[in-house]
Amino acid sequence: MAEPLSFSTTLTFDLGLKLLFAFIAGLIGSLAYVSVLYFKFIGRSNQERMLILKPFLDKDGAIHFFKLLWYCCIGGAIAVLFQYPEPTFVPVQSFLLGISWPAIVSQHISGRMKDPTVNEMSELVKPQATKEEEKQAKDDLKIIKSLFTKK
Amino acid sequence: MDFETLKKKPVRIITENNILDDAVRLSDDITILLDKTDEKINKNFRDFLIVILNNTNKIQFIITYKELSSFLNTFRDFVSSYKSGKTVNTTKILVQQIKLDQFAIKLDNNAVEENIEIQKALDLIKNNHLEVLVVVDKQNKPVGKIKRSSLKNKFAELID
């Protein structure tokens, strides 16, 4: 006959179960996000959607299973971290964390880590010449041209 | 190719090769310089570029929008001095007679060698607030230019 479970064993079992469910909820959240993109529910154009979906695709343009699993597992793991201190299972929080974990991560990084190329490119393409300089140059040129024709 | 990888590539892959459209020779008549200036100002002021070449096609002077004001003042004074109340006889006046060295910029500040990394060219554009950067070969002969206004499209073509 099996021995009854002790109090601490039950507690650990309950906690483990909560964390497992949180992981699954986070996993589903991440999967839901990729699915919404894949089935074109969000994004203004294919080009915009592909910017996000491209890392999940293999050379043939199909979704790469292990990359998708990797992404979803991180969503699940983050949901577990947030579930741990909670006294009860919070499935909605876990699900939402699974969906939005990239935004949470990017909010907490700073400086050079945070998408330096976009800032650099914006700075690089910002024009330096002003409209006033352009107008002045055109006026000066008119004066010179008039000197060529003036009698 | 991502942006970080692209920045380590030689600058010639983002270079536009039509720089002879911007070239005027020291031995040209000043009306050619005037027409070229007129054309460039009205085409796209921000991309304004005139390179003055010597007889061996090496760059002697570069004029961008930054030098334009000083250049036009010098040009105006020069033409005025020839005026003498009559129509200017421009057929005998050459570009080399204008004192271009009064305002012209050093090659080092506005030109890069075609084999340097894109990163260095971008640093130069950013730090010196340039709209156009001239690309030269080892003999200082122009091989092309990089326009700030075209960078975004160039990067979009090359970055995955």
Do the Cβ atoms of B45 and A129 come closer than 8 Å?
yes
- Whether residue B126 and residue A124 make contact (CB cut-off 8 A), yes or no, is yes
As to burial, measured by CB atoms within 10 angstroms (0-12 exposed, 13-18 middle, 19+ buried), residue A124 is: middle
Tens-place pLDDT, residues B108-152: 678 899 999 998 888 888 888 888 999 998 888 899 999 888 887
- Within 10 A of B32 (CB to CB), how many other CB atoms are there? 14
Helix (H, G, I), strand (E, B) or coil at B102: helix
CATH number of the domain enclosing B144: 3.10.580.10
- Whether residue A140 and residue B76 make contact (CB cut-off 8 A), yes or no, is yes
Nearest by CB: A133 against B31, B65, B149: B65
Only one residue has tokens 């002077």, namely B61
- Give the number of domains in chain B: 1
Look at residue A5 in the predicted model and tell me its pLDDT: 58
Tens-place pLDDT, residues A61-119: 788 889 999 999 999 999 999 998 888 889 999 999 999 998 888 777 765 455 555 55
Chain A nearest CA to B76, separation (Å): 5
Do the Cβ atoms of B137 and B117 come closer than 8 Å?
no
Report the largest interatomic distance among the alpha carbons of chain A, rounded to a whole angstrom. Answer: 121
Between strands B49-53 and B23-25, the pairing is parallel
CA distance B35 to A57: 54
Q: What is the DSSP string of A68-87?
A: HHHHHHHHHHHHHHHHTT-S
- Whether residue A134 and residue B45 make contact (CB cut-off 8 A), yes or no, is yes
- Residue B36, domain extent: 3-158
Q: What angle do CA A132, A135, A140 make, to 5 degrees?
A: 125
B87 CB near a chain A CB, below 8 Å? Answer: yes
Cα–Cα nearest to B125, from B72, B69, B66: B66
Q: What is the pTM of this model?
A: 0.56
CA distance B151 to B19: 16
For chain A, give the percent of residues with pLDDT over 70: 76
Handedness of CA B32, B38, B41, B42 (dihedral sign): negative
- Whether residue B76 and residue A144 make contact (CB cut-off 8 A), yes or no, is yes
Helix (H, G, I), strand (E, B) or coil at A35: helix
Taking residues B92-103, report their average pLDDT.
79
Do the Cβ atoms of B33 and B94 come closer than 8 Å?
no
* E strand or H helix that includes residue B76: helix B65-83
